[in-house]
């Protein structure tokens, strides 16, 4: 991820330099004034917010609008294979016993558990680009992103091979002051980071998603998405009445063994950085 971020930054600086050079040496007058929706471009993007596609059109020579959709593919791995995490964990620390001292005592080995990560914070978006001048590529961007789910980050742990089939959705797992949580009926443990579904976006960018001088253009965006208050939840699939109950996890319930990450960082600084590169083709 660090190498990818560095690559995007270097590429963005290169694009900005080329864009400034082109503006200093470009005397061609645009074919037509950019009026409301009289031109259209289509583009694809890749960045920290995933991959996406969008349509762009002008509102005035100083304001453009983009509408599109972005998503991040699911990611599956084990704790030991997570970069910068697995190498720092002693595999023996991920083993623990249940029913210790009893005839049905057995060991759980979390190093062999498959974890799935779904980042659902992006989906449809509507963005407005504001340009200081008619020919400049630098712009301010504001708009909104609609998340695919209120579960901003959904994490699953496949405990089906660690538990017996009759323990699915019934074997209670607890830690510190957190209430018992269970797996679902298929043996998967769920941990979700919840936030609002509608996220305001604010950022800056270089390049025009709709360029009247070139059929193909590139642009770079850098900004932040405001998530709103974020909370961490797991679930008890064996709640009274055969229902599913939410179990909120906080730093206080963990007796601050998370070093306050949930309450002090996730809860107070709910921002997600956006950095992406787009390639656009002017349709007309």
Q: Per residue in 17-54, pLDDT tens?
A: 444 433 433 334 444 567 788 899 999 999 988 899 99
**Any idea which residue has 């059109």 for tokens?**
57
CA nearest to 205, candidates 67, 70, 64: 64
Considering the chain, what is the average pLDDT of its residues? 82
Per DSSP, 4 falls in state H
Give the Cα separation of 256 and 236 in Å (integer).
Answer: 22
From the CB of residue 24, how many other CB atoms can be counted at a distance below 10 Å? 8
Per DSSP, 117 falls in state E
**What residue ranges do the domains of the chain occupy?**
1-66+123-137+199-222+272-284, 73-120+151-194+231-266
Joined tokens for residue 83: 């970069």
For the chain, report the end-to-end CA distance as a whole number of angstroms. Answer: 37
> Which of 58-67, 85-94, 250-259 ranks highest by mean pLDDT?
58-67
What pLDDT is stored for residue 1 in this prediction? Answer: 44
Query: What's the pLDDT band for 59 if we cut at 50, 70, 90?
Result: very high
What pLDDT is stored for residue 87 in this prediction? Answer: 63
- What does the CA dihedral 166, 100, 258, 254 come to, rounded to 10 degrees? 80
Residue 6 has pLDDT above 60, yes or no: no
What pLDDT is stored for residue 66 in this prediction? Answer: 96
Q: Are 126 and 57 in contact (CB under 8 A)?
A: no
Residue 180 has pLDDT above 90, yes or no: no
What pLDDT is stored for residue 84 in this prediction? Answer: 63
Residue 97 has pLDDT above 90, yes or no: no
Summarize the chain as % helix, strand, coil (round to 5): 15, 45, 40
Identify the sign of the CA torsion 131, 133, 135, 137: negative
More confident residue, 45 or 11: 45
Give the Cα separation of 181 and 189 in Å (integer).
Answer: 8
What pLDDT is stored for residue 143 in this prediction? Answer: 96
More confident residue, 22 or 200: 200
Q: Per residue in 103-126, pLDDT tens?
A: 777 788 888 888 898 888 678 999
Give the Cα separation of 204 and 258 in Å (integer).
Answer: 34
> What share of the chain has pLDDT > 70, as a percent?
84
What pLDDT is stored for residue 178 in this prediction? Answer: 86
> What share of the chain has pLDDT > 90, as a percent?
37
Instruction: Give me the phi and psi of 133, to 5 degrees please.
Output: -140, 165
Q: Are 205 and 222 in contact (CB under 8 A)?
A: yes
What pLDDT is stored for residue 224 in this prediction? Answer: 93
What pLDDT is stored for residue 171 in this prediction? Answer: 87
From the CB of residue 274, how many other CB atoms can be counted at a distance below 10 Å? 20
> Which of 6-10, 156-160, 228-232, 266-270 ranks highest by mean pLDDT?
156-160
């Amino acid at each position: 991820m660090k190498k990818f971020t560095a690559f995007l930054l270097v590429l963005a600086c290169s694009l900005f330099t080329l864009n400034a050079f082109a503006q200093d040496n470009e005397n061609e007058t645009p074919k037509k004034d950019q009026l409301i929706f009289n031109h259209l471009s289509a583009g694809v993007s890749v960045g920290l917010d995933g991959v996406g596609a969008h349509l762009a059109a002008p509102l005035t020579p100083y304001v453009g609008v983009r509408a599109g959709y972005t998503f991040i593919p699911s990611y599956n791995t084990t704790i030991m294979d997570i970069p910068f995490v697995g190498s720092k964990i002693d595999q023996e620390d991920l083993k623990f016993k249940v029913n210790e001292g009893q005839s049905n005592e057995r060991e759980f080995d979390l190093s062999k558990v498959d974890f799935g990560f779904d980042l659902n914070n992006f989906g449809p978006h509507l963005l407005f680009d504001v340009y200081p001048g008619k020919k400049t590529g630098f712009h301010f961007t504001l708009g909104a992103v609609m998340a695919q789910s209120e579960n901003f980050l959904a994490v699953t742990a496949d405990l089906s091979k660690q538990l017996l089939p009759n323990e699915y959705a019934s074997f209670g797992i607890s830690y510190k002051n957190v209430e018992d949580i269970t797996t679902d009926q298929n043996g998967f443990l769920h941990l979700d980071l919840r936030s609002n579904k509608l996220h305001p976006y604010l950022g800056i960018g270089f390049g025009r998603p709709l360029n009247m001088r070139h059929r193909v253009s590139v642009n770079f965006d850098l900004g932040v998405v405001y998530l709103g208050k974020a909370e961490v939840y797991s679930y008890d699939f064996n709640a009274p009445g055969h229902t599913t109950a939410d179990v909120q996890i906080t730093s206080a319930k963990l007796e601050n063994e998370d070093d306050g990450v949930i309450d002090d960082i996730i809860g107070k600084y709910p921002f997600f950085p956006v950095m992406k590169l787009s390639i656009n083709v002017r349709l007309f």
